[in-house]
Structure 1
Amino acid sequence: MLIRRALFGLLLASPAAARSFAERGVAVRGTDVVAYFTEGRVVRGRAEHAAEWDGVRWLFASAANRDRFLADPAAHVPAYGGFCAWAVAQGYTAPTDPHAWRIVEGRLFLNYDASVQRRWERDIPGFIARADLNWPRLNQAG
C-alpha cells in the first residue's frame, strides 16, 4: 500500500499528471476536498479560500482546509484526476458528481453519479486495481 501511495504521489507531482476533470477550471465542482476527509461529507468551497494547484482552481470552506491541502495535495486530491473511478476501471474517463464519493484506504474516489457508484461498490478492490492499471494510459491520452 505504501508503494502504491508513493507512486500515486509521484504521478500527481509530475507534469504528466496534469489531466484532471475540472469544469470551468474548478476542481470537483467547487467542493472542498479536504472536508471529505475531515468531516466525512460534501462541503461547498468558497472563492475566498481558493488555491491554484496543478493548473486547476480548488475551493475550500476555510483557510485552514486550503492550507492543509497545500501542505499535502496528494493526500487530498481525488484518484484518477477526479474522473469517475468506475469509468477509469472500464478504460475511459467520465465526469463526476461530488456527491458520489467514497474514501478507500486513504484515497478519495468519485463516480459519475449514485447509480454508477452502486455498480462500483459491487467490487471496489477489483475496480480500483483495474483503474490503477488503466490510469497511466488514460492520463497520457489527454
Structure 2
Amino acid sequence: MKVMKSIIFITTAAILGFSTLTPLSAYAGHDVIYTSWRNNAAIGGYDAVSFYSGNPQRGEREFSTFYKSAKWYFQTEANRDLFLANPSAFEPQFGGYCAWAVAKGKLAKGSPKHWYVEDGKLYLNFSERIRDRWLADKNDFISKANSRWPEILK
C-alpha cells in the first residue's frame, strides 16, 4: 500500500510539474507579441521608439511598461510616453515575429538587429540573410504577411 501511494504521489507530481512548465500559448495559440520565454521582453528589450530615429537602443528597466501582455523597455521616459500615447505607431509589424517568415506562412522570432522601417512601420527579421531576402521583394512579402496576420497565430 505504501509503495502504491508513493507511485501515485510521484506520478501526480510529475504531471503537475510538466504542466506548469508548458507555456499556455501551446494550448491557446501564439502570443500576439513575440517575446523570449526568459524575460517576456518585446523586441528583445530594445526601445521601440528608437528604431524610428535610425539608432535602435536597448531600453532601461526604469522606463518600462506592459502592453499586449509583453514588457516593453525604453531609453527615456519621453520615449515610453510617446509609445503609450500611440503604441500602434511604434510596435513592430506582425508582433515582432520575422516579417519574411509570416509572409511564408510560418512563425519565427524577429531580431532587433535585423530591422527595417518603411512607411512609418517597423519590420523585424530573423537574420541578416533573411532580411536581405525580404528586402529584395519587400512589397510582395508585406502584402503576403498582411494577408496572414493575425490568423497565423492560431
| TM beyond 0.5 | yes
Offset, 1:136: 2.6
In the alignment, which of 130, 142, 147 is matched to residue 133 of structure 1?
A: 147
Are residue 22 (structure 1) and residue 35 (structure 2) matched?
yes
Q: Is 1:32 equivalent to 2:55 in the alignment?
A: no
Query: Structure 2 CA distance, aligned partners of 1:80 and 1:53?
Result: 15
Question: For the residues of structure 1 that align with 2:116 and 2:94, how far apart are their CA atoms?
Answer: 13
Unaligned runs of 5+ in 2: 1-29
Q: Structure 1: state its 5+ residue gaps.
A: 1-16
Q: Distance between the aligned counterparts of 1:108 and 1:18, measured in 2? A: 18
Greater strand percent: which structure? 1
Structure 2 distance, partners of 1:64, 1:130, is 35
* Equivalent-residue separation in structure 1 for 2:145 and 2:122 (angstroms): 13
Q: Given the two structures, how large is their TM-score scaled by the length of structure 1?
A: 0.84
Is the partner of 1:92 in helix, strand or coil? coil
Letter of the 2:45 partner, please give it.
G
- How far off is 1:20 after superposition? 1.5
1:80 equivalent to 2:87? Answer: no
Distance 1:70 1:82 in 2: 17
Q: Does 1:101 align with 2:115?
A: yes
1:78-130 CA-partner distances (Å, limit 9, x unpaired): 00010000000000110121010011111100000111000001101000000
TM-score (norm 2): 0.77
Count of matched residue positions in the alignment of Structure 1 and Structure 2: 124
Quick one: which amino acid aligns to residue 70 of structure 2? V
Q: State the one-letter code of the partner of 2:130.
A: V
Instruction: Return 70-79 or 96-105, whichever deviates more.
Output: 96-105
The structure, 1 or 2, with the larger RCO (C-alpha pairs under 8 Å, 6+ apart) is 1
What percent of counterpart residues are identical? 36
Aligned-CA RMSD value: 1.5
